[in-house]
Structure 1
Amino acid sequence: MKILFVGESWVIHMIHTKGFDSFTSTKYEEGATYLLQCLREEGIAITYIPSHEVQLRFPSTLEELKSFDAIVLSDIGSNTFLLRNATFYDMKVEPNPLELIKAFVRQGGGLLMIGGYLSFTGIDGKANYKNTSLADVLPVELMGTDDRVEMPQGVYPETVKERIVTNDLGKWPLFLGYNKFTPKKDADVLATIAGDPLLVTGRYGEGNTACFASDCAPHWGSKEFVTWKNYKMFWSRLVQFVGKKR
């Protein structure tokens, strides 16, 4: 199985002020390193495109996308796909990457979106997938405003349907927040969190789809989640379900 994993990277630019003087420092981080390692250990081939490389590396044709079984989007907003450099700066006509993903799923590819500050609708509505082609593809209805639910006190999800992905997972670990959405009428809610959907699966055209409302890594995905004994099994099952042809 071949998966295209996109997102889960960021740059932190800090200002250090010490009395009269100040200086800046910058660091680059990736959030999915452990998850990708787990998937590779399960024999899943991963092509990883961090957020800042989407402009250069994301496939520009449907045929290129079809070399993968599924696409995973995690904590990366729609602007990163839609504000193409060639269009933004030079007014050139470019393929819409989200339209390509939509066609990819309709023709049998899989799509998984993982939660985060720039997933679904996101912080201040900045992820903004509700107003894109992917709103038709995802198995959930997205909110029109900031969809974050912060849970600093922690919350434990519950499995509500035993399926291939959720069978024998046992008790879920603690989470510290999630994106709020509602399932479409033909979708399948497999797990909930604070009464809201956590894991939703569905179909679009010939392809499988899934949404996971919380994070695959800290901060919403707590240390307890990342070290959970079933972490590798859960994600490998979910990715293989999404990428499986029917």
Structure 2
Amino acid sequence: MNTVNKPLNILFIGESWHIHMIHSKGYDSFTSSKYEEGATYLLKCLREAEVSVNYMPAHQVQISFPQDQADLDKYDVIVISDIGSNTFLLQNDTFYQSKIKPDALEMIKKYVSNGGGLLMIGGYLSFMGIEAKANYKNTILADVLPVIMLDGDDRIEKPAGVYACPVEKEHETVNHFTDWPIFLGYNQVKPKDNTTVALTINDDPLLVYGNFEKGKTACFMSDCSPHWGSHEFMNWKYYTSMWVNILRYISKE
């Protein structure tokens, strides 16, 4: 693990959404909308642990994802959480105005190749996701991530709950953690050869580490927050320590 006590500088992408609701009350109905962010608690925990976080909500990717490779290379780790590949590939200038722009996923791949760390966290629009709409298996990040994704919808819903479990020889990033929490679902994958599975869930990988050229990668197959990330997980005494350990382990040397 990269144990140098320098402050980590990360780019956290995703974990935001808009909700448009229809309220029907007898004959009459009306609509309302709201905006939500799912990683607020995690980002608060990271900042309190002296991790410098630049947060880019999903809708900002469409208009303000870096265009210069140097703007990505300044980060120790890039985190992608619950945001589908289309948002990276179909930015507003390209989709609406047919402008040629740098491929954001190609830039992330190059960032890792040059020694950067990449973490993908699970969710309905991570890996393949609901109805396979996240669709990362059919992008160049499939080469970078340490897991083999399924062909279709990869969600495993566990409303009765399923517990995280460390492998027999505990990985250094989760060593000595106890009272492993319950989760309500996850994305199902298989680990690639020459990768390390640090945690399992329901006999599937939960936390996987790998390498891509000069960089390090990690996949956490469940959510960092509800609904898959249970309230028990959010209140787990090792919640912050686990995320900081993961980020430091894959960060630039």
Deviation, 1:123, is 0.2
| Runs of 4+ residues deviating >2 angstroms | none
Q: How many angstroms does 1:169 deviate by?
A: 1.1
Which string of whole-angstrom CA distances, capped at 9 and with x for unpartnered residues, describes residues 120-168 of structure 1?
0000000000010100000000111000000001001110041221111
Aligned residue for 1:126? 133
Question: Where in structure 1 are there 5+ consecutive unaligned residues?
Answer: none
Q: Deviations over 1:91-120 (max 9, x none)?
A: 221110000000000000000000000000
Q: How many residues align?
A: 245
Instruction: Give, as a single letter, the amino acid of the residue that structure 2 aligns with 1:65.
Output: L
Which of 120, 123, 128 aligns to 1:116? It is 123
Q: Which residue of 1 aligns with 2:238?
A: 230
Higher deviation after alignment, 179-188 or 79-88 = 79-88
For the pair 1:9 / 2:16, whether they are aligned, the reply is yes
Report if aligned partners of 2:63, 2:92 keep a CA contact under 8 Å in 1.
no
Taking the aligned partners of 2:61 and 2:131, their CA distance within structure 1 comes to 22
Partner of 2:36 in structure 1? Answer: 29
Distance 2:98 2:152 in 1: 29
Aligned residue for 2:185? 177
What aligned pairs does 1:9-158 form with structure 2 within 5 A after superposition?
Answer: 9-158=16-165
Cα distance in 1 for partners of 2:23, 2:92 equals 32
The residue type paired with residue 81 of structure 2 is S
In percent, how many aligned pairs have the same letter?
Answer: 59
In 1, the alpha carbon distance for the partners of 2:189 and 2:217 equals 15
Preserved CA contact (<8 Å) 1:35 1:216: yes
- Contact 1:158 1:171 (8 Å CA) reproduced: no
Note the C-alpha offset of 1:7.
Answer: 0.3
* Structure 2 SS opposite 1:219: coil
Offset of residue 177 of structure 1: 0.1
Instruction: Report the Cα distance in structure 1 between the residues aligned to 2:231 and 2:64, rounded to whole angstroms.
Output: 31
Q: Which residue of 2 aligns with 1:189?
A: 197
CA displacement at 1:171 relative to structure 2 = 2.6
Q: 1:180 is aligned with what amino acid?
A: Q
Task: Please state if 1:202 is matched with 2:207.
Answer: no
Q: Cα RMSD over matched residues?
A: 0.8
- Contiguous gaps of at least 5 residues in structure 2: 1-7
Q: For residue 167 of structure 1, what is the aligned residue in structure 2? A: 175
- Note if contact 2:61-2:91 (Cα within 8 Å) is conserved in structure 1: no
Q: SS at the partner of 2:125?
A: coil
State the TM-score, normalized to the length of structure 2.
Answer: 0.95
Give me the whole-angstrom Cα distance separating, in 2, the residues matched to 1:239 and 1:58.
21
